[in-house]
Amino acid sequence: MLNRRRLLVLGATLGGATALPFTRLIPVDAEDRDPIHNPHRIGQRATGTGVRPAVTAFTEQMPVPPVLQPVQSASGVDLYKIAIQASTAELLPGLKTPVLTYGGSLVGPTIRARTGRPVKVTYVNQLTEQANVHLHGGHVPAASDGHPMDVIQPGQSRVYDYPNRQQGATLWYHDHSHHTEAEHVYRGLHGFYLIDDPAESRLALPQGKYDVPIMLRDAQFDAEGGLVFFDDPANRTTILANGKIQPYFPVAARKYRFRLLNAANEHVFRLNLGGKEMVQIASDSGLLPAPVPLTELVLSSAERAEIVIDFARYPVGTKLVLSNGSDPVLRFDVVRPAIDLSRLPATLRPLPALPAATIERDVAMSFDLAGTGPVGLVNGKPYDPNRIDFQIKRGTTEIWNITNADTIPGVQHTFHLHMTNFRVLERDGGKPLPQDAGLKDTVHVSENGKMRVQATFADHLGTYVYHCHFLEHSSLGMMAQMEIVP
Least Å distance, CB 52 to ligand C2O, is 27
Give the residue among 433, 368, 383, 426 at the shortest CA–CA distance from 402: 426
Tell which one of 176, 236, 270, 444 touches ligand C2O (CB under 6 A). Answer: 176
**Contact between 383 and Cu ion (CB under 5 A)?**
yes
**Contact between 418 and ligand C2O (CB under 6 A)?**
yes
Measured from the CB atom, the residue of 251 and 402 that comes closer to ligand C2O is: 402
Measured from the CB atom, the residue of 167 and 412 that comes closer to Cu ion is: 412
Least Å distance, CB 353 to ligand C2O, is 27
Residue 176 binds what, of Cu ion, ligand C2O, none (CB under 5 to 8 Å, by partner type)? ligand C2O
Measured from the CB atom, the residue of 205 and 480 that comes closer to ligand C2O is: 480
Least Å distance, CB 37 to Cu ion, is 4
Residue range at the interface with ligand C2O (CB under 6 A); choices 292-300, 357-365, 450-458, 465-473: 465-473
Measured from the CB atom, the residue of 78 and 145 that comes closer to ligand C2O is: 145
Tell which one of 33, 134, 139, 450 touches ligand C2O (CB under 6 A). Answer: 134
Measured from the CB atom, the residue of 278 and 392 that comes closer to ligand C2O is: 392
Residue 190 binds what, of Cu ion, ligand C2O, none (CB under 5 to 8 Å, by partner type)? none
**Contact between 37 and Cu ion (CB under 5 A)?**
yes
Residue 383 binds what, of ligand C2O, Cu ion, none (CB under 5 to 8 Å, by partner type)? Cu ion
Tell which one of 33, 52, 174, 413 touches ligand C2O (CB under 6 A). Answer: 174
Binding region for Cu ion (CB under 5 A): 37, 383, 413, 468, 470, 473, 477
Q: Which residues contribute to the site for ligand C2O (CB under 6 A)?
A: 134, 136, 174, 176, 302, 416, 418, 465, 467, 469
